[in-house]
Structure 1
Amino acid sequence: MRDFRWPPPPDGGPRTYGPGPSAPRNGRPTLPEPETELVATPHGVRLERLVTGTGTPTTVFAHGLASGIAVTRPLGSAVEGRKVYFQFRGHGRSDAPPGPWSYADLARDLRAVSDLSGATRALGVSLGAGALSRLVADSPDRFDRVVFFLPAVLDLPRPAAVKARLAALATAVEAGDVAAVADAISVEIPPHLRGTPAVWSYLRQRIDQLMRDGLATDLASLAEQTALVDATKLQAVMARALVIACVGDEMHPVDVAERLAGALPNATLHVYDRPGVVWTDRADLRTRISDFLNAPE
């Protein structure tokens, strides 16, 4: 993999993929991954988990497809109390039981981690937002506050173009095609930022994880599914909810966030005016999430 040349590296940065004398010489380096643990769940699937912080309340963080703990951790940086990050089945070191899988299975993973840690609040990103919507639809009283960041699907199928992009990522990971994996991940990042040291470090970290842990083939079937059959079930959810979306994000359409916020009785919807909010408006995003989760009852 030493012939990797994508994306164009920042000035003074690496010219090849992988460790060695070509590693980044400027910009913020990628932090080492923290030590995690595997926890047994009542439904027999061991899940990788990281717990940080102390006190109350406890908030659980659910990541997106082909993502993981490292990507969700920054979203909880200013959130008070105990924070529980985990990897869904088929991600990281978590088990990958025989499929096919459904959003009900993901909701079961999220419920188990939440119950084991006593979480009263939850944040879901993309795939994790779908799992969270399924969980609260089935158990309306499970949480007192919930955040849905970039929900990707609710009760309607994903567009064909989105399914194709997810399939391309799964194929690239299975084939060990590093450049193709980078291409698939890069669509999350605004084009004008793709050559910066911070983005380079981010891409290296994501690629390292995917090349090391792989991506379970049964995850691809989730692109064909919806989180809910009937979104009206969310009308029973009394938890305070924050739904966050971005204009121009093809993978996470604003109309999905609007339907989700409209179905939840106590939801606030915030839509950023451009995609790539974790890169372009990170400070505001962190503050918005922490202010909502830290606010007194």
Structure 2
Amino acid sequence: MLTATPTRGAPVIHYAVAGREDAEVLVLGPSLGTDLTMFDAQVDGLADRYRVVRFDLRGHGRSPVEPGPYSMADLAGDVVEVLDHLGVRRCHYLGVSIGGAIGQWLALHHPDRLITLTVCATAAQFCDPPSWAERAAVVRAEGTAAMLPSRLGTWVTHSFACHRPQEAERLAEMLLATSAEGYAGCCEAIGAFDVRAELGRITTPTLVLAGAEDPATPVDMVRAVADGIPGSLFTVVPDAAHLLTTERPEVVNAMVAGHLARRVHA
């Protein structure tokens, strides 16, 4: 695997590259409070066919902590910087939650950079926008540990945590390792995000996936994204909460591989 950390002239955020150098690029955008290793199962399942690029959000993983607040335009701009640095003109993009919001922003403002778009457990406007500023304030005061009790049952189902306790613990460690400012700045980007009136302008072939048991972005909220994007495909992944790429990787990987192969909707 090729990895790169921010240096002079390099992108602000940390990224990692795996897979065939001669293949089309698939970019993976993570969820709030996680790092790029949340996509280990996607690398295992897709890097034999694609050049997989993963990144850490600002203040997450190995990316530096930039002072917030951030905007979705800032976070999408970080992705464009990575693509430019790698010399990638066009890519497939898959994003989870805030990663999916970044994908929507890219499809609206940088459509020439995308071949396909897959968004998982995301929204065109997230629940209760004012609450995100409140969450940011709590995390700045108490750290990301304040969010830990609410993640079980939200990120993954209780059944998954019971049967895969080491994986659930690994996700918790990602959250605890996330900087308070990075988490809070991304919360503020989420609270200000609203592209409901713009979804109809997205022309990138789009797959939208919802977790059947996701309380953070319930099925109807995710379905609204698909309803707004002309020609998009929508699927509910059973037995999965918010981080469906982690909880049901085989199912998600198969759906993504099929979508990338189709390219154009019927």
Same fold (TM over 0.5): yes
TM category (shorter chain) comes to 0.7 to 0.9
SS, match of residue 239 in structure 1: coil
For 1:159-178, what aligned pairs fall within 5 Å after superposition?
159=128, 163=132, 170=139, 174=143, 177=145
Post-superposition CA distance 1:154-188 (Å, at most 9, x none) = 1x35237975995598369617x4xx554232122
Q: Is the 8 A contact 1:58 1:83 kept in 2?
A: yes
Letter paired with 2:74: D
Aligned length: 254
Distance 1:192-1:205 versus aligned 2 partners, 3 A rule: closer
- Deviation, 1:61, is 0.6
For 1:242-281, what aligned pairs fall within 5 Å after superposition?
242-276=207-241, 277-278=244-245, 281=248
In the alignment, does 2:38 pair up with 1:71? yes
Post-superposition CA distance 1:45-90 (Å, at most 9, x none) = 6211110001210111100100121112323433222110011112
Q: Is the 8 A contact 1:60 1:123 kept in 2?
A: yes
Name which of 100, 103, 128 aligns with 2:69: 100
- Deviation, 1:261, is 1.4
For 1:164-243, what aligned pairs fall within 5 Å after superposition?
170=139, 174=143, 177=145, 181-187=147-153, 188-196=155-163, 198=164, 200-216=165-181, 217-228=184-195, 231-243=196-208
What residue number does 2:106 align with? 135
Q: Is the 8 A contact 2:91 2:116 kept in 1?
A: yes
Normalised TM-score (structure 1): 0.73
In the alignment, does 2:20 pair up with 1:49? no
Letter paired with 1:270: T
What residue number does 1:22 align with? none
RMSD in angstroms over aligned alpha carbons? 3.1
Q: Is the 8 A contact 2:11 2:81 kept in 1?
A: no
- Deviation, 1:235, is 2.9
What residue number does 1:146 align with? 117
SS, match of residue 137 in structure 1: helix
Distance across 2 between alignment mates of 1:116 and 1:166 = 33
Q: Is the 8 A contact 1:136 1:234 kept in 2?
A: no
Normalised TM-score (structure 2): 0.81
What residue number does 2:54 align with? 85
- Deviation, 1:269, is 0.7
More displaced stretch, 165-174 vs 213-222: 165-174
Distance across 2 between alignment mates of 1:41 and 1:142 = 24
Q: Is the 8 A contact 1:39 1:48 kept in 2?
A: yes
Please list every run of 5 or more consecutive structure 2 residues that lacks an aligned counterpart in the other structure. Answer: none
- Deviation, 1:206, is 2.8
Q: Is the 8 A contact 1:104 1:134 kept in 2?
A: yes
Distance across 2 between alignment mates of 1:67 and 1:108 = 19
- Deviation, 1:244, is 0.4
Letter paired with 2:160: L
SS, match of residue 118 in structure 2: strand
Distance across 1 between alignment mates of 2:236 and 2:254 = 15
Letter paired with 2:260: L
Distance 1:171-1:35 versus aligned 2 partners, 3 A rule: farther
Distance across 2 between alignment mates of 1:39 and 1:250 = 35
Distance across 2 between alignment mates of 1:282 and 1:56 = 21
Q: Is the 8 A contact 1:64 1:128 kept in 2?
A: yes
Distance 1:243-1:40 versus aligned 2 partners, 3 A rule: farther
- Deviation, 1:103, is 1.0
Distance across 2 between alignment mates of 1:291 and 1:165 = 40
Q: Is the 8 A contact 2:133 2:188 kept in 1?
A: no
Please list every run of 5 or more consecutive structure 1 residues that lacks an aligned counterpart in the other structure. Answer: 1-33
- Deviation, 1:97, is 2.1
Distance 1:190-1:165 versus aligned 2 partners, 3 A rule: farther
Post-superposition CA distance 1:69-128 (Å, at most 9, x none) = 111232343322211001111211212222211111111112222333314211111000
Name which of 256, 261, 266 aligns with 1:289: 256
Distance 1:93-1:108 versus aligned 2 partners, 3 A rule: same
Letter paired with 1:83: V
